[in-house]
Amino acid sequence: MRNTLVKVGLSTAAAVLLMSSSAYAQATANASLNVTVNVAARARLTLGAAAITFADQDPGTVPTLTATALTVDVGARTSPAGNVALTVLATGPLASGGNTIAINNLAWTSTGTGFAATGTSNATTAQSVGTWTGPGSRAGSQTYTLPNSWTYAVGTYTTTLNYTLSVP
């Protein structure tokens, strides 16, 4: 009986020694999380102002009227090869009652990557303001000019310019 007890004691001690080396062996657990991101096609067009104004000037000293630069921000989510186009179309000539100034007198220069460097307003055919390829956000500015002619009849002339951003 004593031998048996001793053997059991030794066996237990050996087991404890063996187990103690593995008691804190590396343990790991894993878990997975599936992630889904939805990205839809989008277009954003933001003009820095809702109106531009040319202040009256003496044609003899200021032959060209220049408006404050108009900031233009374009955002497009499209395919990497998608063609993004921004155009502008005037609703008609600059008009003041029965007097008009031909819309092609209203021209612009631009800054910003992808923006057309120069352009001339048109009331029948949309004019390109800028083109880009692929998704992204682009910023630029347009500065409108108008010849300050002695031939203009006195008045306050207005027109509306409609900008269209196309994103496929």
Which residues contact other proteins (rule: CB under 8 A)? 2, 5-6, 9, 12-13, 15-16, 19-20, 22-42, 44, 75-80, 134-137
Closest to other proteins by CB, 126 vs 139, is 139
CA dihedral 53, 56, 60, 63 (to 10 degrees): 10
Q: Shortest Cβ distance from residue 78 to other proteins (Å)?
A: 7
Closest to other proteins by CB, 42 vs 153, is 42
Q: Shortest Cβ distance from residue 127 to other proteins (Å)?
A: 24
What is each CA distance from 74 to 20, 90, 110, in whole angstroms? 67, 19, 14
Question: What is the three-class DSSP state of 76?
Answer: strand
Q: What are phi and psi of 153, to 5 degrees?
A: -75, 150
Q: Shortest Cβ distance from residue 6 to other proteins (Å)?
A: 7
Smallest Cα–Cα separation from 90: which of 158, 142, 165, 145? 158
Closest to other proteins by CB, 23 vs 154, is 23
Q: Shortest Cβ distance from residue 161 to other proteins (Å)?
A: 23
Closest to other proteins by CB, 12 vs 156, is 12
CA distance 109 to 146: 12
